Structure 1
Amino acid sequence: MPATLALALAMVAGGCASLDPTPDIGRAASTIGDRSGVTPDWTQPWETALTTWDGRSPLTREAALVMALRNNREIRSQVEQIAASRADLVQAGLLPNPVLGLTLRFPVDPVSGGTFIGAQVVQSFTALWLRDGKVKAADARLNQTVLDVSDKALRLVADVKATHARIAFGEKALALSDENLATIRKSIDSLDARVRGGEGTTLDVNRARQQLAKAEAERALVARDLAKERRIMLELIGFAAESAEWSVDAAGSMPLAPPIDESGAVALALAQRLDVAAARSVVTAQQADLSTEEKSRLRDFGLGADFERETDGSKSLGPVLEVGIPIFDTNAAQIAKAGSLARVALASYEAASQRAVREARTAWIDLDTASRLTEQYRATVLALSERNLTLAEAALKAGQADVTVLLDAQRELIEARRTLLDLERDGALAGIELERAAGGLLR
Structure 2
Amino acid sequence: MTSLYKFASGAVLALLLSGCASLSGDGGFSAAAGISEPRTGARASVEGRLPRNEDDARALAAVISKKLAQPLAADDAVQVALLNNRGLQASYWSLGVAEADLVQAGRMQNPVFDFKRSHGGGEVGYERTLTFNLVNLITAPMASRIEGRRFEQTKLLVANQALKVAADTRLAWVDAVAATQLADYAKQVEASAQASAELAGRMRKAGNWSSLDQAREQAYHAQTVAEVTHAQKAAVAAREKLTRLLGLSGEQAADYRLPDHLPDLPVAPRELADVEQIAVNERLDIQAARLDTEQTASTLGLTRTTRFINVLDLGAVRNTEGGTATRGYEISLEIPLFDWGSARVARAEATYMQSVNLLAQAAVDARSEARERYADYRASYELARHYRDHVVPLRKQISDQTLLRYNGMLMSVFELLADAREQATAVSGYINALKDYWTAQANLEAALGGRLPTNTGVKP
Q: Under a length normalisation based on structure 2, what TM-score does the superposition of the two structures give? A: 0.87
| Corresponding residue of 1:235 | 244
| Corresponding residue of 1:93 | 106
| Corresponding residue of 2:96 | 83
Contact 2:265 2:385 in 1 (8 A): no
In the TM superposition, 1:324-403 aligns within 5 A as 324-390=334-400
| Corresponding residue of 1:274 | 284
Deviations 1:237-280, CA, capped at 9 Å, x for gaps: 2213344344313676784853123x532222111100111111
Size of the aligned set, in residue pairs, is 436
Contact 1:72 1:236 in 2 (8 A): yes
Deviations 1:61-93, CA, capped at 9 Å, x for gaps: 233222211111101100111011011111212
| Corresponding residue of 1:441 | 451
| Corresponding residue of 2:320 | 309
Paired with 1:59 and 1:126, the residues of 2 have a C-alpha distance of: 58
Tell whether 2:40 aligns with 1:28: no
Could you tell me which amino acid in structure 1 is paired with residue 354 of structure 2? V
Tell whether 2:49 aligns with 1:43: yes
Deviations 1:320-379, CA, capped at 9 Å, x for gaps: 222222222221111111111111111111111111111111111111111111222334
Give the secondary structure class of the aligned counterpart of 1:306: strand
Contact 1:103 1:119 in 2 (8 A): yes
Of stretches 55-64 and 117-126 in structure 1, the one that deviates more from structure 2 is 55-64
Change (3 A) 1:21 1:344: farther
Deviations 1:401-421, CA, capped at 9 Å, x for gaps: 665544443332222221221
| Corresponding residue of 1:120 | 129
Contact 2:11 2:137 in 1 (8 A): no
Shift of 1:395: 6.0
| Alignment root-mean-square deviation, CA | 2.6
Shift of 1:119: 1.0
| Corresponding residue of 1:102 | 115
Tell whether 2:53 aligns with 1:53: no
Paired with 2:266 and 2:37, the residues of 1 have a C-alpha distance of: 20
Paired with 1:176 and 1:434, the residues of 2 have a C-alpha distance of: 29
Paired with 1:323 and 1:247, the residues of 2 have a C-alpha distance of: 70
Paired with 2:262 and 2:388, the residues of 1 have a C-alpha distance of: 21
Contact 1:256 1:431 in 2 (8 A): no
Change (3 A) 1:256 1:25: farther
Could you tell me which amino acid in structure 2 is paired with residue 339 of structure 1? E
Could you tell me which amino acid in structure 2 is paired with residue 201 of structure 1? S
Of stretches 146-155 and 162-171 in structure 1, the one that deviates more from structure 2 is 162-171
Could you tell me which amino acid in structure 1 is paired with residue 324 of structure 2? S
2:148 to 139, 143, 148: 139
Could you tell me which amino acid in structure 1 is paired with residue 369 of structure 2? E
Contact 1:168 1:248 in 2 (8 A): yes
Paired with 2:343 and 2:249, the residues of 1 have a C-alpha distance of: 50
| Corresponding residue of 1:299 | 310
Contact 2:153 2:288 in 1 (8 A): yes
Give the secondary structure class of the aligned counterpart of 2:346: helix
Q: Under a length normalisation based on structure 1, what TM-score does the superposition of the two structures give? A: 0.90
Contact 1:256 1:371 in 2 (8 A): no
Tell whether 2:82 aligns with 1:69: yes
Paired with 2:119 and 2:91, the residues of 1 have a C-alpha distance of: 58
Contact 1:227 1:244 in 2 (8 A): no
In the TM superposition, 1:211-222 aligns within 5 A as 211-222=220-231
Paired with 1:103 and 1:314, the residues of 2 have a C-alpha distance of: 15
Contact 2:86 2:247 in 1 (8 A): yes
Of stretches 67-76 and 175-184 in structure 1, the one that deviates more from structure 2 is 175-184
Change (3 A) 1:383 1:339: same
Paired with 2:265 and 2:311, the residues of 1 have a C-alpha distance of: 61
Of stretches 184-193 and 322-331 in structure 1, the one that deviates more from structure 2 is 184-193
Shift of 1:165: 1.3
* Structure 1 portions without partners, runs of 5+: none
Give the secondary structure class of the aligned counterpart of 2:181: helix
Change (3 A) 1:30 1:97: same
Paired with 1:366 and 1:13, the residues of 2 have a C-alpha distance of: 52
Change (3 A) 1:6 1:271: closer
Paired with 2:65 and 2:370, the residues of 1 have a C-alpha distance of: 34
| Corresponding residue of 1:418 | 428
Could you tell me which amino acid in structure 1 is paired with residue 49 of structure 2? T
Paired with 1:427 and 1:70, the residues of 2 have a C-alpha distance of: 27
Change (3 A) 1:53 1:253: farther
Deviations 1:71-126, CA, capped at 9 Å, x for gaps: 1110110011101101111121222222212111121xxxx331111111121211
Change (3 A) 1:85 1:22: same
Deviations 1:198-227, CA, capped at 9 Å, x for gaps: 432343233212111211211111111111
Paired with 1:393 and 1:38, the residues of 2 have a C-alpha distance of: 49
Contact 2:312 2:332 in 1 (8 A): yes
Of stretches 200-209 and 71-80 in structure 1, the one that deviates more from structure 2 is 200-209
Change (3 A) 1:255 1:284: farther
Could you tell me which amino acid in structure 2 is paired with residue 303 of structure 1? L
| Corresponding residue of 1:8 | 13
Change (3 A) 1:405 1:254: closer
Could you tell me which amino acid in structure 1 is paired with residue 227 of structure 2? E
Percent identity between the two aligned chains: 24
